Chain A
Amino acid sequence: MREFKADLHIHTCLSPCAELEMSPRLIVSAAKRRGLDVIGICDHNSAENVPAVAKNAAREGIAVIGGMEVTSREEVHILALFDKDEDLFSLQEIVYEHLHGTNDEKLYGEQVIVNEEEEVIGFSKRLLIGSTEIALEKLVTMIHDLGGLAIAAHVDREGFGIIGQLGFIPQGLPLDALELADPANQRTIPQLNRLPFITSSDAHTLERIGQRCTTFLMESISLDEIRRCLSGEGGRMVRI
């Protein structure tokens, strides 16, 4: 086993609130500079830039976990991470069915879809910043049914964090982990469900990439290994 440094929550230029500089190549080179082994790509309610980042990262020896930051009906942000793109895109399809509205680029920002050569191949017209109509419990079940991991994003932030939105973490909600924006907040979060913590940058700019990261002690890089780390299987460990 060895330690792998992971920043599992990075946005690309597809998220309206992210900077245009968040292009696949620049994200990968920033990740490399910061010594990351694994990056998670999680745009708001969409995964369309995951393949472009993954192809660029493969050339640089960095692993990409494809994901999405889904907004539930309660306006809670959940990171959904997947091994296989087809499962990720199955979730994306469901998310799109339950996401309404049209983006206003002037108000919220551009939603740029790129290919691996960083050519702009389109602009998403969907209101990615909006919330879906999927109830939190259903969302977590859906993610698990598709083989993914469901992590409550930035639980220590009031806006869109599960505790801010819902007062406390619903008992019995089968989350795989809680993400902290700041690991120092670990002490202040009640450990109701004894869930493991991760921390990530939630980078919307290149400069933020890797500023927060989680170390996984595991056999190799895969979603399943990360899952086993989170449950502390066979001596695997998570450190924030």
Chain B
Amino acid sequence: MTMTLKKIVDALNLVVRTGETLLDRPVRGGYAGDLLSDVLAHARPGSVWITLQTHTNIVAVASAKELCGIIIVNGRTPDEETLRKAEEEQIPIMISSLSTYDVVCRLCELGVKNDARI
């Protein structure tokens, strides 16, 4: 059974701010981080990204790393420009009222896992 953003949105009750029509994207793993330089260096394609950053640069990072979507934690509000860019770049942005730790725990329970690194 393929994990999709839609399943995560439903299970975690996320608020979808952009990319409503893109939620059938498969989720091939996850990455959590707030230092964008670190995400650029380490996130793997197809992952869902959990962060508290809301700056427009998150869209460029998600796009460059081919991440399937961004979950913003702690109910933080993305900047308007971030939302505009995300629509343009087709990056789903979803908001959770939970913390990073709790979002990751829930994703684990749902079976979202990274392939072991070779």
Contacts and interface: CB of A to CB of B under 8 A. Distances in A.
Contacts of B118: none
A158 B35 contact: yes
Contact residue range for chain A?
Answer: 10 to 19
Interface residues of B, number: 15
Contacts of B37: 158, 163-167
A74 interface: yes
Given A167-B40, A167-B60, A167-B61, A136 B35 contact: no
B36 A165 contact: yes
Given A135-B79, A158-B35, A163-B37, A168 B60 contact: yes
Contacts of B60: 167-168
Contacts of B81: 137
A35 interface: no
Contacts, number: 41
Nearest to A136: B55
Contacts of A164: 35-37
Contacts of B4: none
A222 B53 CA distance: 36
Nearest to B65: A167
Contact of A167 (B36, B54, B79): B36
A170 interface: yes
Interface in B77-92: 79, 81
Contact of B57 (A73, A75, A158, A168): A168
B56 interface: yes
Contacts of A158: 35, 37
A74 B36 CA distance: 10
Nearest to A167: B36
Contacts of B39: 167
A167 B35 CA distance: 7
A170 B36 CA distance: 12
Interface string B20-39: 00000000000000111101
A135 B36 CA distance: 16
A173 to B, nearest CB: 10
Contact of A170 (B35, B40, B56): B56
A169 to B, nearest CB: 9
Nearest to B61: A167
A208 B40 CA distance: 33
A165 B53 CA distance: 9
Nearest to B79: A135
A135 B57 contact: no
B57 A166 contact: yes
Contacts of B55: 73-74, 135-136, 166, 170
A167 B34 CA distance: 10
A133 to B, nearest CB: 10
A136 to B, nearest CB: 6
16 contacts: A74-B53, A135-B55, A137-B79, A158-B35, A164-B35, A164-B36, A165-B34, A165-B35, A165-B36, A165-B37, A165-B53, A166-B36, A166-B37, A167-B40, A167-B57, A170-B56
